[in-house]
Amino acid sequence: MEVYEYPAKPRGAVCIGVDWGRHNDRTAIVVICIELTGKYRLIEHRLLLKTPYNTQKTIIKTIAQKYPACCIIAEVNGLGDPLVESLRLETHRQIIPFITTSASKKAIIETAVSLMESGAIVLPAYNSHGVLISIAKDLTDELSQFECIESRGGGMKYTAPDGAHDDL
């Protein structure tokens, strides 16, 4: 974690990630700046619960307007495919579809862990008497609860515990 203004001004390429949800699952919108230094800095994020899809798309479009050259990567599992198609037509942007599978989730988590351990992923914090406190507490809470458990087939499965979330 690092102390910096949040939401932050980008100092490099911007990418918006979208994980759709609605009722029991939340929609997560994460905006990352890929800096010339090789760091991935969280510059903005939103969590939406019980939010109509048209409102979700409006929020994503509003965020994307702040970053004209950004790329958007959106999950296409379930209802994601028609939402991505609609968002593509409404924003006139190329949207990179992403399919979440056990294998892709494993790759994401393992890459994120490696980048966090190396200090390449930077999350916002504030300094409270010499202690860094996360500004993105919802994100750091999710990360701290994440589990790696053995699946029935003998492989490793990454997931949030029952009642917790893994959207961000």
Residue that is written with structure tokens 């979440």 in the block = 100
Compute the distance between CA of residue 63 and CA of residue 123 in angstroms, rounded to an integer: 19
How much is the pLDDT for 98?
94
Distance CA 87, CA 74 (A): 10
Residue 33 β-bridge partners: 14, 41
Higher-confidence residue: 114 or 152?
Answer: 114
How high is the pLDDT of residue 57? 96
Residues in CB range of 133: below 8 A, 6 or more apart: 125, 126, 127
Query: Can you give the pLDDT at residue 44?
Result: 96
pTM: 0.90
Residues 106, 75: Cα–Cα separation, whole Å:
15
* DSSP type of residue 10: P
Give the Cα separation of 76 and 119 in Å (integer): 30
Task: Please give the distance of CA 42 from its chain centroid, rounded to a whole number.
Answer: 9
Nearest Cα residue to 28 out of 56, 69, 67, 58 = 56
Q: Rounded to the nearest 5°, which phi and psi values hold at 23?
A: -95, -65
Whether residue 32 has pLDDT greater than 90: yes
